[in-house]
Amino acid sequence: MTDRIVLTGLRARGRHGVYEFERATGQDFVVDVVLELDLAEAARFDDVTRTVHYGELADRLVAVVAGEPVNLIETLAERLAAVCLAEARVVVATVTVHKPGAPIPHDFADVAVTVTRRRPPGAAG
């Protein structure tokens, strides 16, 4: 698959983390998504219904980040990948969750987890 839709830097506030203070105060998370799918039909017909509407996808991703807290950003990334694969046209979804405010007692620029999930062959979205 050579076609991709890329959404980077999607910021949302969530209450994820293993520490109680992370859940109490919340923090910003940043999400990057790479969707692999065939875009030829969308381009040929110039029709948004033949692709993934990235604005609507962003709404669903933000709802997950802002929703039910989890301990690990690994779990959050898995949930976000499932949202991406719920789009019937998506074959592969790569999701990176950045936690720039992670409770690390050292100077650091970012911590992130990336997962790549593929639709099983023959599986419908």
- Tell me if residue 33 falls in helix, strand or coil: strand
What is the pTM (predicted TM-score) of this model?
Answer: 0.94
CATH class of 4-118: alpha beta
Hey, what's the torsion of the CAs at 125, 83, 70, 9, to 10 degrees?
150
- Asked if 73 and 1 touch (Cβ cutoff 8 Å), the reply is no
- Choose the catalytic residue: 99, 104, 110, 121: 99
13 is catalytic: no
| Each residue's pLDDT tens digit, 45-102 | 999 999 999 999 999 999 999 999 999 999 999 999 999 999 999 999 999 999 999 9
In the chain, where the domains are located: 4-118
